[in-house]
Structure 1
Amino acid sequence: MFKEQIKKEIENIKNNNLYRFLRKKDNIDNILDFSSNDYLCLSKHPEVINAVKDGLRYGFGSTGSRLASGNINHQLLEEKIAQFKETEGALIYSSGYATNVGVISTLCKKGDIILSDRLNHASIIDGCRLSKADVLIYNHCDMDNLIHLIEENRSSYNNLFIITDGIFSMDGDIAPLDKLKNIADEYNGILIIDDAHGTGVLGNGKGTLKHFNLKPSDNIIQIGTLSKAVGGLGGFVCGIEEVIEYLINTSRSFIYSTALPPSVVSGCIKSFEIMEEGTLTKKLQENIELANRIFKEYDLIEKNNLTPIYPFIFKEKTMDIAEHLIKNNIFCVGIRYPTVPRGMERLRVSINVGHSEEDFGALCECIKDKII
């Protein structure tokens, strides 16, 4: 009975053209990859790889949770992140998803209210659902709508949390953190920023907060990932010491998860050291400017991007174009519902420091071949 039910639901997914499958990147050296979040190409950086190898002296795995046998070199990475983000402390988790779910569900309690941007990442949405706080959704980056919802509801709740992505992963646009910080201050709220796609990209690599020349403060909590510009695996949260101490004692996805392998931690430490030099972040910004020019020439964008994420919206043609790219050794997956709204299907083009002018041209020409 259960098997038949599952089979029926899978068929329904297929019939609605929403079927997903795992695609292996064969012959990886000959594939032009425009789907990776490895913005600074640190996952393949020789110094990072050597640091990973050096970290293997601790063993293959961490063997336990951080509060048991798994606390090895992890605090060294947390110190590096806190220094990099200019915060009092930091705490690393097993993934960015686990960080958002763990931090939000722990800090946001019954009697509190969360205001969440409509286009926030799924991990934020799930963290809100797992919390016992009431949740209201404000229109994407719409400060007037946010203020309206706060003024209608603030007096009925203890704590107010405003939660947003720094850079939105499917559109590449930037949250107005300067305005959000002012709103949080005015209404005695806490601003939680998921800077997964901002760290290593904006603000000379320091992230979206730095991009707006904002300094960390008591009512700002920054969340990030180690799996995008850092090139590794894991997630982190940083902020005031009291928040970090509280999460160590109460955050379930931290307490009950095996700690990251120490070799991964060593690699991430080296990645932050390289990011601090600033060379790769500068190169990424130069590539963004180059991509802006070329993508405009092919009428794929109308205005310049500040981030390495480009949504090319082709609606019902998207998946056919994605398959055409794959056949031509260009890896750029199509994004569809429920990741994006129906009718907003797109190629999510993600560029990095390793891409060249020729690479951007090859992508555009291949897309042009299919849409003409």
Structure 2
Amino acid sequence: MQQNFNFLTSPLANKIVAKGDEYLYFGGTAYLGIPQNSNFIKLYTEGIALYGLNNGTSRGNNVQLGVYNEAETFAANRFGAEAALITSSGYLAAKLTVRLRLHGHCGEIRYAPNTHPALWLNGSPENYLDFAQWSKEIVTEINGSKSKDWVLLSNSMNNLYPEIYDFSFIKNFSTNKNITLIIDDSHGIGLLNGGNSVLQSLPKSTNVEIIVVASMAKALGLDAGVVLGSTKSISKLKQSDEFYGASPPAAAGLYAFVQAQDIYRSSYKKLQENVKIFKQQLANKNEWHFVDDFPVFLSKQPAIMQRLLEKKILISSFPYPDRNGENLNRIVLSSWHSETDILQLVAAL
């Protein structure tokens, strides 16, 4: 049974107040602690002073704030792409990319397991394989098919279990196939490959075009979305009705993003220190599932949420993807946790 909490955030982001009590909190997706980082908030405030609270005009307006193009150029360089497009949300970034690339597409479309709904075109794609098995089977299918054009859609990782996906299989496609690979990196951007994105680990292949979409609202702490790809693809996306007509994210946040690279680096370092401390202190690692350098720990103990709740520690616990299924009990570490917080958690376990 899922237990829901409506809470007011206390001054310290690692703690929340719910039902009149204060809880040490290990959940959410603010992996780098940016939403409560005082130095980042200072930069955001500077951005508000420069650009105001929001920008309700579209990117097609004849008068534009230069910070949008600046942030897109910066994001492309930062994450290893030729070009970038920034939208008001990761969901919009994914939807406009999928709509433009898949509507009217005459080739074959395939979804990897657990692909995020933002990448779905029509309804839920059924795929019950694990990623490793799927990657083997998709290479066999494509290479053995008469179809030349393919679009593959996938997350960069499964943040719930967790698992970071291996895309080395794309080197094995026949060179006479034209393949577009669209990857949702929402939980990886700012964390994978030393604090960068999935792009840095992907093999290059002349017949595989890679487009990465991501929410910037998780590790990066911004209410925005980004698309990373070739100059040609990004230019085409910028001509879409969705991009042309939609209001962009707050310029103040993008100003902070561009200025905050030292903050991101130090927050990433702190997060990795927290992950190391927690892994070293875990008494029985067989009761947990986790991967190196990612701050999510899935518990195999069904009653752990209630047991920790009694000790005023609140973790992530909800059923997914089946809302009527068993709860996934996960401990999520953040840069805002102190060593004292982690040791208190370990003692409670």
Shorter-chain TM band: 0.7 to 0.9
Structure 1 equivalent of residue 20 of structure 2: none
After superposition, residues 39-188 of structure 1 pair within 5 angstroms as 39-56=31-48, 57-68=50-61, 71-72=64-65, 73-110=67-104, 111-124=106-119, 127-129=120-122, 137=127, 139-141=129-131, 142=133, 143-151=135-143, 154-156=145-147, 159-183=149-173, 187-188=177-178
Q: TM-score, normalised by structure 1?
A: 0.78
Structure 2 equivalent of residue 261 of structure 1: 250
Give the unaligned 5+ runs of structure 1. 1-16
What is the Cα deviation at residue 195 of structure 1?
1.3
Letter in 1 for 2:180: I
What is the Cα deviation at residue 175 of structure 1?
0.8
Letter in 2 for 1:201: L
The ranges of structure 1 where at least 4 consecutive aligned residues each deviate by more than 6 angstroms after the TM superposition are none
Q: Is the 8 A contact 1:114 1:135 kept in 2?
A: no
Q: Is the 8 A contact 1:231 1:271 kept in 2?
A: no
Q: Is the 8 A contact 1:48 1:271 kept in 2?
A: yes
Structure 1 equivalent of residue 332 of structure 2: 350
Structure 1 equivalent of residue 226 of structure 2: 236
Structure 1 equivalent of residue 287 of structure 2: 300
**Per-residue Cα deviation, 1:318-347 (whole angstroms, up to 9, x for no partner):** xxx54554564433231204357834x211
Letter in 2 for 1:66: R
Bigger fraction of residues in strand: 2
Q: TM-score, normalised by structure 2?
A: 0.83
Secondary structure at the aligned position of 1:346 is classed as strand
Bigger fraction of residues in helix: 1
Give the unaligned 5+ runs of structure 2. 17-23
**Per-residue Cα deviation, 1:71-99 (whole angstroms, up to 9, x for no partner):** 42211110110111222110011111111
Q: Is the 8 A contact 2:167 2:202 kept in 1?
A: no
Structure 2 equivalent of residue 12 of structure 1: none
The RMSD of aligned alpha carbons is 3.1
Structure 2: distance between partners of 1:324 and 1:70:
56
- The alignment-based identity, stated in percent, is 22
From 298, 312, 329, give the equivalent of 1:311. 298
Q: Is the 8 A contact 2:159 2:296 kept in 1?
A: yes
What is the Cα deviation at residue 222 of structure 1?
1.4
- Structure showing greater relative contact order (alpha-carbon pairs closer than 8 Å, 6 or more residues apart): 2
